[in-house]
């Protein structure tokens, strides 16, 4: 449904380059965080592509393997598995050739598998087997990057995310759902995508932007409703600021969200979580999130608005900042708040003044 007719290898677009940058930045954080504590970690690229673009640019599978091989954490990671699923047989063949050509000698702790098949079928089969054996899926980053609209059932997303330390990085096409909003033949498929029929309420929203926002927010809410606290969309737009798709990152782990925000803000540092074909990624912005001094005051105001007059455990403040604001959680924001009298007491402080241990509780002054 809604697939672009592209040749086996196609020209890369600017937003794909930005997506690859974010992926690479995130993997650079993900490999050491999970690799240190797990016997095995998995990078699953469910819509892998041929691994190469028209002018020789690398595709996500090659970028992911290369990032791992260049990472200094590789020497202490027990096992990394790369699983690449690609349904187009010509593309999966090229991908296999690309991998053999680029990485003729993989270290013994790196395993690569190219599966020529349909993502939903292949993963369902794998999860069925794991569950029949009473096992858990190893910590997995599922990167699901279909063209256009793809029928990825929400039930399958739920199954992946239900395992400990499994995360999702998904290309979500609200625009395609919008296009098929009144097509009764697609209703069941869209019900499956969302795991609810509530998307049909979008039919009553006249304004296109509001309708698209609703369709995206509903998907985010669906992820929250299955216990995924941290969900961050990132919009990919045309130069005319029309959304092409949203990247959605979802995790139960605050460190994962902090690392992903860091990755997204490194690629586009203006804090909008939006890349457009007009975006100059080397530009210095009026509000530049790579400069802490530009956003600390705003972060402090958001925290104060939420918690003034209350006494709150640090991890609750951290989770609020990461899940419900555009900011990263840096303790220097709390330092700023304490210096400005917005924080009036900290219990459980284990070290010096103006330090905040993970299990301390913070008392905020009252908004007057
Ligand atoms: C957007 S491209 C992937 C690009 C790649 N992730 C990258 O960043 O370089 C989507 C790919 O998914 C493949 N595809 C489409 N439907 C699929 C399905 N049901 N299962 C697996 N792969 C599929 C397409 O053939 C295409 O190569």
Q: Give me ligand 1 centre to Cα 292, in Å.
A: 37
| pLDDT higher than threshold 60 for residue 300 | yes
Nearest CA to ligand 1 atom 10: 146
Distance CA 346, CA 364 (A): 9
Residues in the chain: 368
Nearest CA to ligand 1 atom 16: 87
Q: Which one of 90, 146, 171 would you pick to mutate in the ligand 1 pocket, going by the greatest count of ligand atoms within 8 A of its CB?
A: 146
Mean pLDDT to the nearest integer, 65-83: 97
Reported as a pLDDT band with limits 50, 70 and 90, residue 239 is: confident
352: left (phi over 0), alpha (psi -120 to 50) or beta: beta
Q: Give me ligand 1 centre to Cα 305, in Å.
A: 43
Q: Which residue has the tokens 């097509």?
A: 183
Which tokens in the block code for residue 204? 């009553």
Contact between 149 and 180 under an 8 Å Cβ cutoff? The reply is yes
CA nearest to 258, candidates 315, 313, 336: 315
| pLDDT higher than threshold 50 for residue 350 | yes
Write out pLDDT tens, residues 192-214.
Answer: 999 999 999 999 999 999 999 99
Of the listed ranges 32-41, 163-172, 263-272, 333-342, the one predicted with least confidence: 263-272
The pLDDT score that the predictor gives to residue 1 is: 46
Q: Give me ligand 1 centre to Cα 88, in Å.
A: 8
| pLDDT higher than threshold 80 for residue 282 | no
CA 336 to chain centre: 29
Q: Give me ligand 1 centre to Cα 51, in Å.
A: 10
**Sheet containing 167-172: order of strands:** 110-116, 80-86, 41-45, 140-144, 167-172, 243-251, 230-237, 274-276
Q: Report which of residues 274 and 99 the model is more confident about.
A: 99
Which tokens in the block code for residue 202? 């979008």
- Counting atoms of ligand 1 from 1, which one is nearest the CA of 19? 8
Would you say the C-alpha torsion 218, 223, 228, 230 has a positive or negative sign? negative
- Counting atoms of ligand 1 from 1, which one is nearest the CA of 50? 27
Nearest CA to ligand 1 atom 13: 47
Q: Give me ligand 1 centre to Cα 185, in Å.
A: 24
Contact between 124 and 131 under an 8 Å Cβ cutoff? The reply is no
| Burial per residue of 114-147, b for 16 or more beta-carbon CB atoms within 10 angstroms, e otherwise | bbbeebbebbeeebeeeeeeeeebbbbbbbbbbb
To the nearest 10°, the Cα dihedral for 16, 21, 27, 28?
170
Distances (CA, A) of 100 to 43, 81, 84, 112, 134: 18, 16, 14, 10, 34
| pLDDT higher than threshold 60 for residue 297 | yes
| Burial per residue of 305-319, b for 16 or more beta-carbon CB atoms within 10 angstroms, e otherwise | ebbeeeeeebeebbb
Q: Give me ligand 1 centre to Cα 86, in Å.
A: 6
Distance CA 95, CA 91 (A): 6
Mean pLDDT to the nearest integer, 227-253: 93
Q: Is 243 helix (H, G, I), strand (E, B) or coil?
A: strand
- Counting atoms of ligand 1 from 1, which one is nearest the CA of 151? 19
Write out pLDDT tens, residues 304-335.
Answer: 999 999 999 999 999 999 999 999 999 999 99
Count CB atoms within 10 A of the CB of residue 252: 18
The pLDDT score that the predictor gives to residue 242 is: 84
Q: Give me ligand 1 centre to Cα 173, in Å.
A: 14
Contact between 22 and 247 under an 8 Å Cβ cutoff? The reply is yes
Distance CA 142, CA 302 (A): 31
The pLDDT score that the predictor gives to residue 285 is: 61
CA 267 to chain centre: 14
The pLDDT score that the predictor gives to residue 50 is: 98
Nearest CA to ligand 1 atom 12: 47
Question: What residues contact residue 153 under an 8 Å CB cut-off, 6+ apart?
Answer: 120, 192, 193, 195
Distance CA 237, CA 106 (A): 37
The pLDDT score that the predictor gives to residue 2 is: 44
Mean pLDDT to the nearest integer, 337-360: 91
| pLDDT higher than threshold 80 for residue 247 | yes
Q: Give me ligand 1 centre to Cα 55, in Å.
A: 18
Question: What residues contact residue 76 under an 8 Å CB cut-off, 6+ apart?
Answer: 35, 36
**Percent of the chain scoring above 90 in pLDDT:** 82
| pLDDT higher than threshold 70 for residue 15 | yes
- Counting atoms of ligand 1 from 1, which one is nearest the CA of 63? 9
Contact between 172 and 163 under an 8 Å Cβ cutoff? The reply is no
List, chain by chain if needed, residues with CB within 6 Å of any ligand 1 atom.
45, 47-49, 59-60, 85-88, 91, 118-119, 145-147, 150
Q: Which one of 6, 13, 61, 87 would you pick to mutate in the ligand 1 pocket, going by the greatest count of ligand atoms within 8 A of its CB?
A: 87
Mean pLDDT to the nearest integer, 151-177: 95
- Counting atoms of ligand 1 from 1, which one is nearest the CA of 143? 6
């Amino acid at each position: 449904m809604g697939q672009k007719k592209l040749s086996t290898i196609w020209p890369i677009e600017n937003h794909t380059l930005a997506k690859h940058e974010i992926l690479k930045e995130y993997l650079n954080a993900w490999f050491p965080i999970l690799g240190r504590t797990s016997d095995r970690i998995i990078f699953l690229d469910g819509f892998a592509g041929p691994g190469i673009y028209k002018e020789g640019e690398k595709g996500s599978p090659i970028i992911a393997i290369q990032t791992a091989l260049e990472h200094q954490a590789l020497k202490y990671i027990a096992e990394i598995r790369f699983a690449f699923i690609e349904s187009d047989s010509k593309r999966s063949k090229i991908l296999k050739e690309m991998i053999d050509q680029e990485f003729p000698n993989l270290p013994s702790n790196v395993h690569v598998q190219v599966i020529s098949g349909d993502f939903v079928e292949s993963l369902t089969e794998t999860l069925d087997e794991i569950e029949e054996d009473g096992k858990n899926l190893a910590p997995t980053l599922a990167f699901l990057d279909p063209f256009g609209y793809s029928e990825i059932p929400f039930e399958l997303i739920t199954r992946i995310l239900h395992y400990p330390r499994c995360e999702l990085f998904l290309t979500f096409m609200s625009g395609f759902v919008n296009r098929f909003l009144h097509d009764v033949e697609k209703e069941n498929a869209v019900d499956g995508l969302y795991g609810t029929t509530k998307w049909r309420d979008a039919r009553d929203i006249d304004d296109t932007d509001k309708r698209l926002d609703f369709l995206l927010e509903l998907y985010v809410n669906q992820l929250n409703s299955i216990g995924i606290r941290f969900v961050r969309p990132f919009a990919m737009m045309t130069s005319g600021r029309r959304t092409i798709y949203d990247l959605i990152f979802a995790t139960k782990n605050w460190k994962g969200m902090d690392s992903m925000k860091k990755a997204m803000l490194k690629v586009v540092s203006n804090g909008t979580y939006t890349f457009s074909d007009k975006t100059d990624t080397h530009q210095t912005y009026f509000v530049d999130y790579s400069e802490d001094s530009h956003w600390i005051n705003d972060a402090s105001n958001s925290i104060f608005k939420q918690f003034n007059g209350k006494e709150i455990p640090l991890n609750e403040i951290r989770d609020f900042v990461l899940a419900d604001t555009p900011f990263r959680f840096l303790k220097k924001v709390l330092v700023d708040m304490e210096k400005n009298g917005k924080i009036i007491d900290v219990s459980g402080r284990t070290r010096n003044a103006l330090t905040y241990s993970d299990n301390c509780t913070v008392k905020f002054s009252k908004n007057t």
